[in-house]
Each structure stands twice: as C-alpha cells, then as structure tokens.
Structure 1
C-alpha cells in the first residue's frame, strides 16, 4: 500500500463508516443513516451482488410470534449450552419486526391466504432493494473498494479506514467517528458460491486495532456440493439422497432414522461418494426446485437428472461463514473492545446465537438483520458523542502484515503461494474436520512459517498486488487463530470435533477469546446464567465470566495454558 500513489487519492469524511457489502452491512448503514448521521459504505465487490446472500435464495429465522418459544428452545439446544437465550430472543424478535420494512421498500414476499410469508428471500432481489433504499437515504457507497486497514486516534479509538479502489487504481482514506465491521467471515478461497469475498480481512483488521476474536474453534464448517462443480453448497436437496460408493454399494449412514452428521466426511476419507436424490417425492421435488433452484443449475448444465442418476459429491470448506467464530462483541450494541468499532453479521462471533454449532442459513440471515441494526445505531450514537471535531483528531494506520514489512529483507513474498499453503492446512478433512492435538500442532507449525513469510515485503506495484498481499496475510492469520483455539478446547462440542477428546465436557462451558499477532493467546470466558443447572464443577482456573446479557463482568485475565515441547512459541497463554 505504501508504493501505490495517485494524484487523485480519495479522501472522505463520515460519521459512520460501514465496511462490507452484504445484508449486515446494508442494515447497519440503514440503521446509522436513520439516526441522522453521514454514512459511507465501502465494499470489496458491488453492494447488491457480492457475497453469500446475493448468490441464491436463503431462509430467515423469523418464526411467527406463537412459535418463538419453540424456535428459541430448538436453537438453544443446538448450541449445546453455549448459546444465549436472551440474545436468541432478541434476534428472533428484531428480525420479525424488521421484515415488514423490506416489504415497504419494495421486496415482494410470497403470499398465502393474503398474508405475506416472510420465511425466506431471493438474495439478488433482496440485496437490490436494500441498495436502492440506502441510496435513497443518501448513503455513499464505494464499490470495488476493499478496506485494508483501520485508522486509530491517539486515545485508541477507531478513526476510519484506508483501502484501495480497483477501478480507479488508487488508494482512499475515510476518516470516520465510528466503524462497523460487516465484511463477512472467512471461507479460505474455497470457491463456495458467494464466499470468495470472505477472506477474513475484517478479523485481522480488528485484532490489529486491539480487538479480540471469540469461538474461533468453530471455523471448520463444510458443506456438501457436487464434485464436478464444487461451488454451489446448498445441502437441503441432499436430505432426500441415497449414497453409494464407487462400486454402487449403499453407504447407509443412518442412526435411529436420522443421518449421522459425520457419515459423509467418514465416507469421503475412504473413497469416492455418489448421491442420487431418489428419496424425493413429486411434492418434495416441486418445493426444493423452487426454493433451491440454484442447486440444480450444475445438473442442468451437465445434462444430469439427479433423481435417477448418481452424481459424485464432495465437501467444501465454508470456514467461519457458516461456522461461528468471529470478532468478539461485548454489549447489546455489538461494540467490540476497541472504542468506536462495532461488528455485525458473519464478521462477528455468533456464539450467542449458536454456541459452536453452525448458524448457516436462516439463523445467520436473522443475525445479519438484527446485529446490523444494533451495530449501526450503536455506531451512530458513538459518532454523535464525539461531536463535530472528531475529524480533527490525529490518526495513524495500524495495518501490518501484508501491507508493511516487519523484516529487513528486500525480497517480496508470493501471495499465491501463501494462499496455497494455508489451504493445504485448512481444506483436508483429516486436518480440519477430524482434529487432534498432534495434527493441530503440525498445522500450526506450518502456518507459523507462512506467518513469518508474510512479514516480508509485500508486492505493491499495483492495486491488485496490495489487495492480494493483504488477503494472504489475513487468510494466514485466521487459520492460526482457528487452530490455536481448536488446540485449547479439549472436548468435542457441536462442529468442533477432537478425535482425542471425543466426548462433550460439561465443565467446559465457556467461550474462548483469542487474539495476538506474532504471539497468540487464548482466554476462557466462563458462561454464568440462571437458566442452566450444569455449572462448571471443580475448575481451578477461572479468568473471566459473561452474564446472560452478554456483557463482560470480568474477563481480563489470560488463562495459563500448558507449553508443549517443541511448540512453546505457538501455544503460550501469556500476552
């Protein structure tokens, strides 16, 4: 970024800067603008077409009020005692109350008996309506303008961001009183549909500014896809599939009438797996083809009838996009540890919503709608509290790896090689789905080598060079945080599977905060609420706690963790 110069470098001021271009970013921008403040949105792609939501249809966790308790209870159980009942109720209620707004703005939900059925949306049209609404409110949108680093004021509060504009081949700076990070999670460039803009940039930017992450061990969500076109990750149609091996033998996979979640990963480790949607009735076919039509496009292009013909299937890593880990939020307004910095959508940890289970689909859609608004209102209030002189503050950029060299070498690193190295550790099921201590340590050692490499000079001859160097650093950083957290949760819970600790430990009822750049750390934030009777017993180390409101009640200490031979620099619990 230092070697990209332009006489027409863009410099702007805003009260609230929103980073991202999906539903969470759009809702945050709308909520902030509705408070009467000036809002700018910067997006890596085009707000309205980029990101996972715009790529296809999606459900929404927006049950009718008479079903709220039922859905709340189901989601809490799926969270394996790590979800938060009060936050679940907040999300469900906020989403239900917000969807009529979308209809007022021009989106047409289907009707039944004259009533709107607001249970799902068609992503492209939904995002088109949101973009149109933002422009009508006077929100300024910078498309094709990825943000790469945050700005901080001398007091440690956020003061805007810097990035690059691809189409104008220049850099930009937006001075802002508050920032909402809503640029998604990290799918490690797996080519999952709509997810290649989700490369963990926001997580790295937040940590560099002094923020924390949480539940990063829940970063290994895999989704089923056809192996011949492994991009469309819509699993609903496969609920009516039968599975066979190369020779045509039925693979079964049912326990007590339900498909074992680990069935497909186990089968793929043994060889090729084929699926045929032969369990779907004509009524089911009509429903899934209408609601998940994009899942059938690969079949149509290949001239395949998925109901009668076998198709090879695979699993595609979606990481934290349908996982849970993300930036740690510390209050009801989705604020982070950094004053003036807020997080929403997939960029934020969804632990209150899902524990360590996936919130993919309807729950995450509801999370984007609700947290986007809470973060937008919170950011607007913070901006107003600073007053008109906020832009006169002395500020400085805090971006490091991938932007500025941390070593004395004159050589530049190969960003594509770094990405391939990260993917080699994150993609394989035997590394990331089935986890064990030695495997995690081996991967962390490889990732540590990559992290040292991205401390060298980034290539910065073009705007693309700057973006890709930074992206390589972000992918490496997120992978390290994910595996470091996974190493220190010594149990199997929801999507975090440890083959060396196959049982769920009732005494590990805590969230794991993590952070650090060159030196990683993990802290246990114990959950204490009046709703559960399974309080941790006989636990000697308690360094923090979170009450049912989600507010910190004392999480300042760092839990001392055992140093393992040969990897002390990787697993220190000290900061």
Structure 2
C-alpha cells in the first residue's frame, strides 16, 4: 500500500480493494478480501461498527443447516414475492451462510446458546456483532476510514479504478483500487427508522454514475411499524398485536403485511396497538430477545402488553424493501468491470422476489454477498496487477470536487416529506400521484445550493432524490400490483408481467425487462 499526504489531513492511498460501507456486508467484504491477501481500505460514512441498521438491533439470520429444506424456503418466498426469486441463488446463499457463520464462531464470536447447549447461529446481537467484525477486519490489516462518506467513483479504460470522498474535518480522501465493493446499505429516504440515518443512497448514485444498473426498485415501499414515539421498527413484537381506532373499535388485519392495514386507517385518523396476544412465556421471550424494542415503552412508563399505545409508520425504503444495484453474476459483480455490490445496496429480488427481505433474509444476504464480493474483488484486483494499470491515485480521471453533482438538502427533505414518505403516495400508488411526485423530485434538483452547505450533505441530498426517482419511474412502468408494489389503478396481478425491471441512467432513466431464470 502506498500513501501520500494531501492538503491538511487529506489522504491518498493505492490498494487492491476499496470497500464502501462499514455495515455487515462491507465488513464481510473487507475481511474476505484481506484473508485472500489483498490490501484493503474500508471507508464508512459513520463509524464502522456502530453505524447503520444492523448495529442498532438484533439480527436474525436465515440459517438453514439442512439442504433438504432449501426447496421449502425457496417456495415460500416464490409465492409471496411474486415469482421473481431464483432457486440457484437461494441454494447458494443458504449453503454459503452456514459456512460463514461457523467461521464467525471459529474466530471467537460468542454466539448465544440454545437449551441443549449448542450455538444459536440464527441470531446475532447487532452491537456485539458489528464491534466484533470491526475487530476482525482491523486484525486482518484493513485500513478503516471512519466518518468518510463516498462522493463518487473513478473509471479508467471502462472499469472502476477507485473512489473518493470527504472526511469529517473537511479534508478529502482518494483511493485508487484494483476493484471496488459498494456496500453502503439501502436507502431509507430519511424515514426515521433506527439506524437508517446514514442510509441515503450515496452508493447508489455513485454506482449509477459509473454505469451500473438497478432492479426491483418498484419494491421500495416497505414501511416499518413502530410506536408513534419510537424509531424502533422491530416487526417481531407486532406479530402479537391487536389494533384499534381511538374509540376502541378493532382494526382487522386483512393483508399479509400488518402495516398495510394500519396505513389505510392511519392516513385519516390515529391508530393504537397492544401486544395483548402474547402470553406470559412469549412476553418473557420477546423482552429477552428484542430488548431494545421495549426501551421506548419503559421510558414512557407504558406496558405494551396491557396498555394501548399510538402507532406510527417509518418508511424503510430499500433497507427493508428489496431493490438495489443489479448483480450480473453470483460473484456479485455489476455491469461495470471492477465494481461489485453487496448487502442492502444490491437488489435482493433473486432471493425474496418483490417482498421485503427485512430480517433474516437480508442478514444472510449481507453475509454471503459481502464475502462473495470481497473474494471476487480480490481476484479481479490480482489479475489487474499482471496487466498495465493506471488505477493509482496519481492517474488521470479524478474529478474536481466542485464539479460533483449535488442538491439542496432542505429542498430535498421537503420533497421527500411531501411526495415520498406519505403512505397515500408511496404505498397506495396510482399514476397521477406518481407523476406528480416525480415532478416534485425533478424540481428539487434545480434549486441552487447555498454556498455554506457541506458537500457531503449536498451529495446525499442528490442521492436521496435520485433513488426516489428510480423507485417511482420503475413503479410507473409496472402496471400491475405484485408483492410490495401496489397500484390502485392496476389492482390485479398481471401473470404476463413476471419479469424483472432493470433501470439505469442519470438524467434520463431507461428501463428494460429481464427474464427470471427458472
């Protein structure tokens, strides 16, 4: 690894693999690449080990030790996900995750124990898990750049050759790399769910500018149920919830997702819930396994198992939705040579279809795709060493920071508040609402940015609006209702529309249809 000192505390590095994002997918990518002998830099928008959705709560993992069960797990999600997932991806994921979790145990992670004394590989405690992963990547020799959001990628001779960003003190960082992994998480559109404040689509925008495409973006309308006074959207306790209006009349849950039934009423009036369907044993189990979900209730002096509490919705977008960067192959490569994607930044259609991957599938996806991407990026970088390369930090192609595409943060937030966050626009969709929302988003990109606006904030504002446009443009194109995508003007599922939508572009978005592999 070579290093040079720039102005002030600015950094310039040249490595084999650059990983963008410090959540579970990024940590697994960095660890896997380093274990293959690659030199690695990981740049995180926050502090690697504490930032992001995974570090904020428990992580249930899709852990299936018996391969005879693969077909059942695939079939369940094939039906609920609109027939858009693939058996080959599912099998590969489930098989890989078992080995990775066992490796985690071999490295010393203290898994909880079952009643029979064996390790419970299906549960990871978020704060412990991510602190442990930070320790492992540091021990493996990975250079970690905390509080260093990415601003863009660099291409040379048709491939991605590194990335650049800014640090908390305003200095810059540039990393030339043989291969780059985007693991910056999904985009939650500032919906307010715990841990998603850093999930603003920065990696999506950078990937798109480099030429990557996306799929499943119409399935971005996932909302999380929470107490109105809380940001914790853990869904498990709500499995034992009853819902009512302010006058006490019951609200029946008629959809597969409770948040949809609640949203229909919540648009016009308050909704209340009680976890009154949980018996004493379930109550103890929930409090033990989902401790952070009950902290807000304890602070308010509310017993949610016996007292009603007001309910709210937090838009989780593509964090618990399923859309993201399209993966061209099971090595997690994208459409652009030298660029890989992992975790929530990548589309999960291949394993869950158009339904939410929230919870155990997404946790397993982060582990498997992070490891796959890190290994493949290491191999790609190794091959680049054997050919003429100009990836280095002194090579041509680094843009001037003042030329980076940005947007006004305040205007972007207002556009999200009016046309992306409300369920009446984003959850219960129709053409008129989607068209008007798209116009609002387009207008947000034309507002001037104040001279004193921080570059990272202005870049994230641009990314938030861009990802919202991807979602709405894809939603307009799919003229049916399927899985998470609901159109009131096209309420039925179209059996002829069992394809994936691949969308790309920056100023002009184009959509193509992709066949789902049998």
What TM-score comes out, normalization by structure 1 length? 0.85
Distance 1:369 1:478 in 2: 24
Distance 1:460 1:184 in 2: 29
Runs of 4+ in 1 over 6 A off after TM superposition: none
Match of 1:363 in 2: 361
Contact 2:224 2:313 in 1 (8 A): yes
Equivalent residue of 2:267, what SS? helix
Distance 1:49 1:449 in 2: 35
Deviates most, 433-442 or 413-422: 413-422
| Residue 146 (structure 1) aligned with residue 149 (structure 2) | yes
Contact 2:162 2:180 in 1 (8 A): yes
RMSD: 1.9
Kindly state the Cα deviation for residue 241 of structure 1 after the two structures are TM-superposed: 1.3
Distance 2:52 2:507 in 1: 30
Distance 2:153 2:147 in 1: 18
Change over 3 Å in CA distance of 1:344–1:413 after alignment to 2: closer
Match of 1:512 in 2: 501
Deviates most, 65-74 or 426-435: 65-74
Kindly state the Cα deviation for residue 157 of structure 1 after the two structures are TM-superposed: 0.7
Match of 1:352 among 343, 350, 353: 350
Contact 1:48 1:124 in 2 (8 A): yes
CA deviation string 1:312-335 (max 9, x = no partner): 001110000000111111011110
Kindly state the Cα deviation for residue 269 of structure 1 after the two structures are TM-superposed: 1.9
| Residue 404 (structure 1) aligned with residue 407 (structure 2) | no
Equivalent residue of 1:173, what SS? strand
Contact 2:408 2:445 in 1 (8 A): no
Kindly state the Cα deviation for residue 259 of structure 1 after the two structures are TM-superposed: 7.0
Match of 1:419 in 2: 413
Equivalent residue of 1:390, what SS? coil
Match of 1:432 in 2: 426
Match of 1:476 in 2: 465
Kindly state the Cα deviation for residue 307 of structure 1 after the two structures are TM-superposed: 1.3
Change over 3 Å in CA distance of 1:118–1:161 after alignment to 2: same
Match of 1:200 in 2: 201
Q: How does 1:60-71 map to 2 (within 5 A)?
A: 60-65=61-66, 66-71=68-73
Match of 2:3 in 1: none
Distance 2:512 2:377 in 1: 27
Equivalent residue of 1:332, what SS? coil
Q: How does 1:267-306 map to 2 (within 5 A)?
A: 267-306=265-304
Kindly state the Cα deviation for residue 253 of structure 1 after the two structures are TM-superposed: 2.5
Equivalent residue of 2:335, what SS? coil
Equivalent residue of 2:320, what SS? coil
Distance 1:384 1:459 in 2: 44
Match of 1:235 in 2: 235
> How many residues were matched structurally?
508
Change over 3 Å in CA distance of 1:339–1:259 after alignment to 2: closer
Distance 1:399 1:503 in 2: 49
Distance 2:391 2:175 in 1: 13
Contact 1:44 1:145 in 2 (8 A): yes
Match of 1:451 in 2: 445
Contact 1:209 1:398 in 2 (8 A): no
What TM-score comes out, normalization by structure 2 length? 0.94
Kindly state the Cα deviation for residue 459 of structure 1 after the two structures are TM-superposed: 4.7
Distance 1:193 1:203 in 2: 21
Distance 1:259 1:198 in 2: 23
Match of 1:489 in 2: 478
Distance 1:528 1:357 in 2: 18
Match of 1:546 in 2: none
Match of 1:36 in 2: 37
Contact 2:181 2:377 in 1 (8 A): yes
| Unaligned residue ranges in structure 1 (runs of 5+) | 407-411, 530-575
Equivalent residue of 1:180, what SS? strand
Equivalent residue of 1:375, what SS? helix
